[in-house]
Amino acid sequence: MKVKKSNIYMRLIHRYLGFFLAGIMAIYAISGIILIFRNTDFLKQETAMERPLPPDTDIHKIGQELRMPFLKVEKEDGDMVYFSNDVTFNKTTGIAAFKIKKLPLVLDKLTTLHKANTKQPLFFLNVFFGVSLLFFVISSFWMFMPDTKIFKKGLLFTLGGIVVALILIFV
């Protein structure tokens, strides 16, 4: 059976692009798994922060200034204002004290890569990676001849994967 040149080129590109992207795929896999737990404290470290604000800042606008929109005043005690989430504000000094929970630097950078948008230069890498993954999907159908048993089984597995994904998305 004669193999078409297009099949040979598709396999060649598939193979070497796969090797080239293996590291990037590992990084995206790790950061994707970490992002699943972004609403928990998994792997996060707590850091105490202080931010100077003008002493005359309206206490109802402290949440906006700290980018914590859901802060609520719990009590006032002299010059100190206590908010939800362990945030304090000293009306005399203008110091807002709070704690943040962040991923360690390397993991934070990995998740930043994963979440890059068009305002960041990393988005070119994300587009390249997405197009490459789409190429892998399409080129995988050139790995086997269409009239073989394994190709037909592969189509059934592909259909099964699509059905499972749609069920998980819509249920």
Closest by Cα among 120, 110, 98, 113 to 46: 98
Residues 95 and 118 in one domain: no
| Coil vs helix vs strand at 121 | coil
Token pair of 109 as six digits: 């950078």
Domain limit, last residue, from 69, 87, 102: 102
1: pLDDT strictly greater than 60: no
pLDDT for 73 equals 92
The answer on pLDDT for 3 being more than 70 is no
- Verify that 95 and 110 share a domain, yes or no: no
Asked if residue 165 and residue 114 are part of one domain, the reply reads yes
- Which of 57, 80, 102 terminates a domain? The answer is 102
The domain boundary, picked from 102, 118, 151, lies at 102
Q: With 80 as the cut, is the pLDDT of residue 158 above it? A: yes
Q: Tens digits of per-residue pLDDT, 89-135?
A: 999 999 999 999 999 999 999 898 888 899 988 889 889 999 999 99
pLDDT in tens, 141-150: 888 888 899 9
Confidence bin at 155 (pLDDT 50/70/90): very high
Structural domain for 56, as ranges: 45-102
Number of domains in the chain: 2
What's the pLDDT at 104? Answer: 94
Name the band, by pLDDT with cuts 50, 70 and 90, for residue 140.
confident
Q: Which pLDDT score, from 0 to 100, does residue 19 have? A: 92
Our CA angle for 14, 19, 22, nearest 5°, is 115
Contact partners, residue 34, CB within 8 Å, separation at least 6: 42, 43, 103, 107, 110, 111
The string of pLDDT tens digits covering residues 22-43 is: 988 998 899 999 999 999 999 9
pLDDT, the chain, mean: 90
